[in-house]
Structure 1
Amino acid sequence: MPEALKERSQIEEQYKWDLTRMYADDAAWEKALNEVDADIDAMAAYAGKLKDAATIRAWLDASTALDRKLSNLFCYSSLRRSEDTRAEDAQRMYARAMAKYVHAGEVTAFAEPEILALPEETLNAILADDQMEPYRFAFGDLLRRKPHTLSAAEEQLLASMGEVLSAPGEISDNLQDADLVFDSVKDGKGEEVEVTGSNYILLQSSDDRTLRENSFRSFYKGYRQHINTFGATYSANVKAAVVEAKARHYESSRAMSMAGENIPVSVYDNLVETVRKHLPAMYRYVALRKKILGVDELHYYDVYAPLVSESSASYTYPQAQQMVLDAVAPLGEEYVNQVKKAYADRWIDVFPNRGKSGGAYSSGTYDSDPYIMTNFTGTLDSVSTIAHEMGHSMHSWYTRQNQPAQYSNYTLFVAEVASTVNENLMIEQLLKDEQEPQARLRLLNQYLENFKGTVYRQVMFAEFEREAHAMAERGEALNPAALNALYRRLIVDYFGPELVVDDEVQYEWARIPHFYRPFYVYKYATGYSTAVALSEAILNEGEPAVKRYLEFLSMGGSAYPLDELRHAGVDLTTPAPVDAALCKFERILDDAEATLARMQNA
């Protein structure tokens, strides 16, 4: 039975991230928060003066410096809030940091419209000026967005509404992390088990089917009881994106979201079409799951169940750390040594505690360590999560070692590449010498689950988003009934005829936080497909592939993401990388089926 969650004060310091490397304490953060007002106010002096290369260069320098300060303030408060979402002081810090960002956006909203109002020949001359060399790519990208930039007054109005427009996501997060509670349930032995947002997936990964079913019913009962609230928050979020896209003269909210990274919508549509072509392989996996579990009916609460008992597959945190080091060894000595330093410098907040945000993430700034939040529970999935988030953080580290502050953030489109390369390197390392059938099947299950969760499932989410936003653009109601029906239909399409679709499944969309960042989830699938290609090259080609890969990690925001990926050797403007990735999924599935046959014939 899972242990009861500890309070944060009961967690040993060595397993908490060290935020003193950002600010000595909350009082130091408070001092910095008060001091930034002067920097924000100083930006207003540039209004009406952005007409030549020298002044625009000075503006860009000042804006970059201000953004660094605001990023530090916001990141620290966000990390503190994640530690315990019930803590009112951290919630207040987060809200105040967000308010500073909004205020800065209001004060500086004049800049882009003022610059873009200059004559075309003047803009081109400024772009070519030597003073603009450190910002040439960023300034050229600004010119690209000129047709979708509004007047100064309109941009200021939109900026002033930033906090309001982000409210639906904030409401959903608070409801899920702080207010939503679930009934405790009985496991197969009749013992009572607590159900929380942070332990739900762990319970669904149990080999106790009674516990899985009961926690599934309890969990979605909680969401069903609040489904009208979730429907209202998500509908508001979608409509905000639709309204902004229309105001900015985009053909759709999807086109607007993708245009920021210069990604054509054809990349999105090719992804969905290619994955749908490979749905029969997903149906094979569902059928294999049903066969191994030996159930008459496969329900949604069976889709995370281990195919082999995990009683011998529990890992301590030190073991997990070493497994990550072993996995990334092909990336070279510098990479490995920096991962060791990440452990020593306490980048990672390791274990779950009461009130802690669920899931895992990497977050940091140009001036901080790239911190990692996890909820480590000892499963292989938890180990993979550390490898995954370390990939994010190492991507950040390489970028910030090689790029100036203005290019220190890689785009979301490539954000999942490095993380998934690490996961794939880990699973390949574990599979390399493992021939014992049960242990091998356990690893293959993890590999198949990675594909299922990161490609198939995320593309299913991507279809949900594409249709939900299209419904709003057509003027159709985005009420819970419509969203439930859409989600249920996609579950049937993606999981196939062997899955029994329980009524609770239709509410799952309400628990997906990424839906509040429109058209983000598809990037998991493109990122995973890219990572398959890169990890295969790293293992098979060696040093030349590693060199290209580390150069890619070092590019940050200094080029468009599709160009960065081409540099690494992957072209996502064609269906080929996704098609190749899912062909590999089929080969892993072949291996799993053959391994099962060996077990049955032994």
Structure 2
Amino acid sequence: MSDLKKLKSREEIEEKFKWKVNKIFPNDEAWEKAFKEVKEEAPILKTFEGRLKDEKLLLEYLKKSEELDIKVENIYIYAHLKSDEDTSNTKYQAMMNRIDAYLAEFSSFTSYFVPEILSFEDGYIESIINNNEEFKMYDFMFKDILKEKPHILTKKEEELLAKVSDCLDAPSTIHNMLTNADMKFPTITDEDGEKVELTEANYSTFIKSKDRKVRKEAFTALFSEYKKLENTLATSLTSSIKNFNFSAKIRKYNSALEASLKPNEIPVEVYTNSIKTINDNIKSLHRYVDLKRKLLELDEIHMYDLYVPVIEMPKEHIEFDEAVNIITEGLAPLGEEYLQIFNSGIKDGWIDIYQNKGKRGGAYSWGGYKTMPYVLLNYNYTLNDVSTLAHEMGHSIHSYYSRKEQPYIYAGYTLFCAEVASTTNEALLIHHLINKEEDKKKKLFLINQELEQIRTTVFRQLMFAEFELFTHESIEKGESLTATDYNKAWHDLNVKYFGPSMVVDKEIDSEWARIPHFYSDFYVYQYATGYAAASAFAKSILDKEKDAVSKYIGFLKSGGSDYPIEILKNAGVDMTTSKPLEATISRFNQLLDMLEKEIKE
């Protein structure tokens, strides 16, 4: 095996390509010392129980809790990062397992806090905040806790619910075991004429095959297995939805949708208006499907043709330094300060760049209030890796700003906002790549790449959201949903979304059974709203609208200091209107125009 192909051990990777975890603790001995000290000190938090009505003790508790939270966070992050460097290193696995196990004990020391605050008479906490300057900082935190009061049950009821939580989560566990452990798929013939066992893992490769027979066979084989189990999977999904509806009802919400959105003060209309907006603009997706049919030179396009690339590009080799330069050019509209933070992160050891034996796969951005925002990569010299670097650094710079500008309690941000910064970076990067590209074939490839991103992240996820809304509302009305009902609803949605050019094959009817996200209530729409917010930010920045960059940086600095809708609104993106999503669809149409133009020329 050549040196190029041989995967290096951790020790063989140069230090300059590794993240600087020693900035958290200089060595493992320091970690052990810190862990020992925390275990000795943390039980003090239990001594505040039942005494929080004393203002001085409440303030003391808040400060001590924060101090210990940060210490535990550092211990937790260090162990996990070290373990991810080489998952075969048993020393770091053991350290990680120890801190993971300790977290349950640590959280038990403070589990009384929220129930005790909610037990105080109305107006008590508000009076403390109004009359004591030291509590001003905690205003939003307490408001967020107190607004849940109407939805909190009695202590005995809450204890009972906690005891049956495993039972209520059973449908998700059953779906996971059925689809990942028990289901077996048949063998298919690959592009080389070899017999290969189909799996969920390799399906994504086969469905993109240039050989239409391969992708059709994979498609038919995969969904035929879901078809066989559709009655069991329908029962599992119905049980899960009934559990969500039950939980919403006993907590005095009007619906499961409201129960999912209300804790973050997201109006139900944000969800329903997103579905309406995508339906009002569904012809844009129909146009794309027909364009794809023409580019693939097909008489009719089937569901198994959706994922095949319309343009094949030879694999590029982009060195990491070149990737940094490409991204720096693409993010230039964000201004000097942003680029300075980006380049400092590259140089100061935020990133663990290359693959090594045993290293955790994939990519992520992670860190704590007092640490660097670390980035794990497995950089492999492709354009996709360049995009991944831009994405993860978007997360990291968001975290950098949030932690720098906000106190610990507000430094985190909600899921609704989490993908905005990373996707804004990606949007600016691909705009730059498309605009500067002179090679026609590569430009077509890039245009189609962005079109596919919008199709899968916005159109597809909102189709999922529409299906979720239908299923919940049907069961809330007392209707029973069988596999036949789910199949019909899914088929009709595919017909509506993909339009008259698409042959909606009967096999796709069972696709709902494959999607684990439906067991995380009203989760998927946030992919689409996050992308829409990012599109709106990118458009205003590229159009050089007044204060666009400063408003965007203001969003990055806000952390979790307010509810996500308000944070975005203050930055100029109002998610209670259809404008952000319309900006995404406008970009989709612009890309379709570019694609048509490139084809004609």
Q: Is the 8 A contact 1:392 1:418 kept in 2?
A: yes
Quote the offset at 1:234 in angstroms.
5.0
What residue is the counterpart of 2:542 in the other structure?
A: 539
Alignment partners' CA distance in 2, 1:145 and 1:212? 49
2:418 corresponds to which of 415, 418, 429: 415
Residues 218-260 of structure 1 show CA distances to partners (whole Å, capped at 9, x for unaligned) of 5556766776776676556544433332232111222111112
1:523/1:292 CA distance change after superposition, 3 Å: same
Residues 493-535 of structure 1 show CA distances to partners (whole Å, capped at 9, x for unaligned) of 2222322334443444455454443222212222222212211
What residue is the counterpart of 2:447 in the other structure?
A: 444
Asked whether 1:330 is paired with 2:350, we answer: no
Q: Is the 8 A contact 2:354 2:377 kept in 1?
A: yes
Alignment partners' CA distance in 1, 2:281 and 2:188? 37
- Secondary structure at the counterpart of residue 362 of structure 1: strand
Alignment partners' CA distance in 2, 1:492 and 1:152? 49
Alignment partners' CA distance in 2, 1:152 and 1:352? 50
What residue is the counterpart of 1:253 in the other structure?
A: 256
Asked whether 1:311 is paired with 2:314, we answer: yes
- Tell me which moved more, 365-374 or 263-272: 365-374
What residue is the counterpart of 2:119 in the other structure?
A: 117
Alignment partners' CA distance in 1, 2:196 and 2:11? 21
Q: Is the 8 A contact 2:42 2:106 kept in 1?
A: yes
Residues 303-360 of structure 1 show CA distances to partners (whole Å, capped at 9, x for unaligned) of 2222212226565555444432322222233333433344452535665989966x65
What residue is the counterpart of 2:406 in the other structure?
A: 403
Alignment partners' CA distance in 1, 2:516 and 2:105? 25
Amino acid at match of 2:365: S
Amino acid at match of 2:476: E
- Tell me which moved more, 417-426 or 482-491: 482-491
1:460/1:138 CA distance change after superposition, 3 Å: same
- Tell me which moved more, 17-26 or 272-281: 17-26
For residues 281-296 of structure 1, the aligned pairs below 5 Å read 281-296=284-299
Amino acid at match of 1:565: L
For residues 232-381 of structure 1, the aligned pairs below 5 Å read 237-311=240-314, 315=318, 319-344=322-347, 345=349, 347-348=351-352, 360-373=363-376, 380-381=383-384
Q: Is the 8 A contact 2:350 2:373 kept in 1?
A: no
Residues 169-192 of structure 1 show CA distances to partners (whole Å, capped at 9, x for unaligned) of 577667777887766654333256
Quote the offset at 1:426 in angstroms.
0.7
Alignment partners' CA distance in 2, 1:235 and 1:88? 42
For residues 21-420 of structure 1, the aligned pairs below 5 Å read 41-69=43-71, 71=73, 100-102=102-104, 107-128=109-130, 129-158=132-161, 185-191=188-194, 200-217=203-220, 220=223, 237-311=240-314, 315=318, 319-344=322-347, 345=349, 347-348=351-352, 360-373=363-376, 380-420=383-423
% identical equivalent positions? 39
Asked whether 1:430 is paired with 2:433, we answer: yes
Asked whether 1:582 is paired with 2:581, we answer: no
- Secondary structure at the counterpart of residue 573 of structure 2: coil
Q: Is the 8 A contact 2:50 2:116 kept in 1?
A: yes
Alignment partners' CA distance in 2, 1:159 and 1:173? 22
Alignment partners' CA distance in 2, 1:31 and 1:176? 44
Quote the offset at 1:363 in angstroms.
3.3
Give the superposed CA RMSD: 4.1
Is the radius of gyration larger for structure 1 or structure 2?
2
- Secondary structure at the counterpart of residue 520 of structure 1: coil
What residue is the counterpart of 2:521 in the other structure?
A: 518
1:200/1:333 CA distance change after superposition, 3 Å: farther
Q: Is the 8 A contact 1:53 1:131 kept in 2?
A: no
Q: Is the 8 A contact 1:395 1:418 kept in 2?
A: yes
- Tell me which moved more, 527-536 or 85-94: 85-94
Amino acid at match of 1:347: I
1:290/1:427 CA distance change after superposition, 3 Å: same
Amino acid at match of 2:461: Q
Amino acid at match of 1:434: E
Alignment partners' CA distance in 2, 1:86 and 1:480? 43
Asked whether 1:558 is paired with 2:527, we answer: no
Q: Is the 8 A contact 2:10 2:86 kept in 1?
A: no
Quote the offset at 1:487 in angstroms.
3.3
- Secondary structure at the counterpart of residue 554 of structure 1: helix
Amino acid at match of 2:367: G
- Secondary structure at the counterpart of residue 120 of structure 1: coil
Alignment partners' CA distance in 2, 1:346 and 1:115? 39
Q: Is the 8 A contact 2:10 2:85 kept in 1?
A: no
- Secondary structure at the counterpart of residue 365 of structure 2: strand
- Tell me which moved more, 157-166 or 133-142: 157-166
Q: Is the 8 A contact 2:419 2:527 kept in 1?
A: yes
1:473 corresponds to which of 467, 470, 476: 476
- Secondary structure at the counterpart of residue 264 of structure 2: coil
Quote the offset at 1:488 in angstroms.
3.5
2:501 corresponds to which of 489, 495, 498: 498
1:579/1:299 CA distance change after superposition, 3 Å: same
Amino acid at match of 1:535: A
- Tell me which moved more, 360-369 or 282-291: 360-369
Alignment partners' CA distance in 2, 1:164 and 1:475? 22
Q: Is the 8 A contact 2:352 2:377 kept in 1?
A: yes
1:411/1:278 CA distance change after superposition, 3 Å: same
Q: Which runs of 5+ in 2 are unaligned?
A: none
Q: Is the 8 A contact 2:539 2:583 kept in 1?
A: no
Alignment partners' CA distance in 2, 1:231 and 1:23? 50
Alignment partners' CA distance in 1, 2:488 and 2:87? 32
TM-score where L is the length of structure 1: 0.83
Quote the offset at 1:284 in angstroms.
0.4
TM-score where L is the length of structure 2: 0.83
Quote the offset at 1:270 in angstroms.
0.7
Alignment partners' CA distance in 2, 1:194 and 1:11? 36
Alignment partners' CA distance in 2, 1:340 and 1:206? 38
1:248/1:16 CA distance change after superposition, 3 Å: farther
Residues 40-92 of structure 1 show CA distances to partners (whole Å, capped at 9, x for unaligned) of 64333222222243333233333334444555566667768878999999999
